[in-house]
Amino acid sequence: MNDESSSSSSNDFNPCPICLGHFKQEAFLDRCFHKFCYSCILNWAKYVSTQSSQQNSTLKCPLCKRHNLSIVYGYDGDSFQQHYINQDSPKSNFFSKVHKFRLQSYYREPGAIYEKFNVLQYWKYRRYLLPNKWLQTWLRREVQALTQEEDVDIIVHHILGVIESFVRLSEREHPKSTTEQKREEFKALIADAARPFLIGRTEHFVNEVELFLSSGLNIEAYDEVYLESLCSVTSGVKSEVAEEGSHEQTLNVPYLHFFYEDSDTD
């Protein structure tokens, strides 16, 4: 009786080995049968693929190092689905050249672009109370670029809801807080909303949100200014961007799947 109770208790607290949280859509590797969240092991497979110079048809289990041919998921007792390693496209057609450009931007400090926009005036004159009709579309693109997932509506609506709540509360309250206090409050709220999804890239993402809002530009104009700033500090890069296709520069575009900044890539 005690053994059964102990076993049940152990299983209740057995987390996904990758995210260390409760399992979300359980999945197994087809040879070693180690269990993970489907999204976790799928992203791990994509990440490992980017670290290799050649495309492998197997995936080494992150726990036991055994090679597996596929990820089994979506089983309901009668049927299941399989994702075969590197036989499915790692990204669908939604991942455009602009997504690649924006993903690349998260590997560089904003630096020079801060000189293009007066961020402090944005907060001093309470311009954060003004609506931004491009924000939702911009957020969707940024989160898609960082997660390399097409369906990010839940994440976007969550972050957008936090921003809208901050604005509503700021409209009603007497401006007792200093400019810097409001700025830090805003950034902390966005960070808390985004961190479960973006992990190690959260701080950079928050800075990008602030830059986009303080710019007052639409998405296309913002991209042009951003690239101009990027090119001004990057040797050997030609400033030839006017259309989406021009975002594909000679710069290497890295791909993110796990965002722990000090993670072991072995």
For residue range 29-50, what is the model confidence (pLDDT) as tens digits?
A: 988 999 999 999 999 888 888 8
Tell me the C-alpha distance between 53 and 58, whole Å.
14
Contact between residue 10 and residue 59 where contact means Cβ atoms under 8 Å apart: no
- pLDDT, position 179: 86
User: Between the CA of residue 24 and those of 38, 39, 40, 127, what are the distances in Å?
Assistant: 7, 8, 9, 40
pLDDT at position 218 over 90: yes
The answer to whether 152 touches 198, Cβ cutoff 8 Å, is no
Are 58 and 68 spatial neighbours (Cβ–Cβ below 8 Å)?
Answer: yes
Count of positions (residues) in the chain: 266
pLDDT single digits (tens) 65-118: 999 988 988 887 667 788 888 765 444 467 888 988 898 888 877 666 777 788
Q: What is the pLDDT of residue 192?
A: 96
**pLDDT for residue 27:** 94
Cα–Cα dist 134/82, whole Å: 38
pLDDT score recorded for residue 115: 73
Query: What is the per-residue pLDDT for 172?
Result: 82
Contacts of 206 by beta carbon, 8 Å cutoff, 6+ apart: 187, 190, 191, 194
Does residue 193 or residue 90 have the better pLDDT? Answer: 193
In a 10 Å sphere around its CB, with 0-12 CB exposed, 13-18 middle and 19+ buried, how is residue 85 labelled?
A: buried
pLDDT of residue 5: 45
Q: Residue 240: which pLDDT band, with cuts at 50, 70 and 90? A: very low
More confident residue, 14 or 64: 64
Query: For residues 242 and 82, what is the distance between their CA atoms, to the nearest angstrom?
Result: 42
The amino acid sitting at 17 is: P
- Which token pair is 238? 């030609």
Region of poorest pLDDT, from 104-113, 152-161, 180-189: 104-113
Whether the Cβ atoms of residue 200 and residue 260 lie closer than 8 Å to each other: yes
Per-residue pLDDT, 13: 66
Determine the Cα–Cα distance for residues 16 and 25; give it in Å rounded to an integer.
Answer: 11
Region of poorest pLDDT, from 74-83, 167-176, 187-196, 230-239: 230-239
pLDDT score recorded for residue 243:
45
217 vs 212: CA distance, rounded Å:
7
pLDDT of residue 77: 67
Q: Which two tokens stand for residue 120?
A: 């402090």
Buried/exposed 127-140: b ≥16 CB within 10 Å, e otherwise: ebeeebebbeebbb
Across all residues in the chain, what is the average pLDDT? 79
Sign (positive/negative) of CA torsion 174, 130, 133, 148? negative
What mean pLDDT is predicted for residues 168-196? 88
The answer on pLDDT for 263 being more than 70 is: no
Q: How confident is the model at residue 175 (pLDDT cuts 50, 70, 90)?
A: low
The string of DSSP letters for 145-160 reads HHH--S--HHHHHHHH
- How much is the pLDDT for 229? 78
- Report yes or no: 191 and 203 within 8 Å, Cβ to Cβ: yes
Burial (CB < 10 A; 0-12, 13-18, 19+), residue 154, is exposed
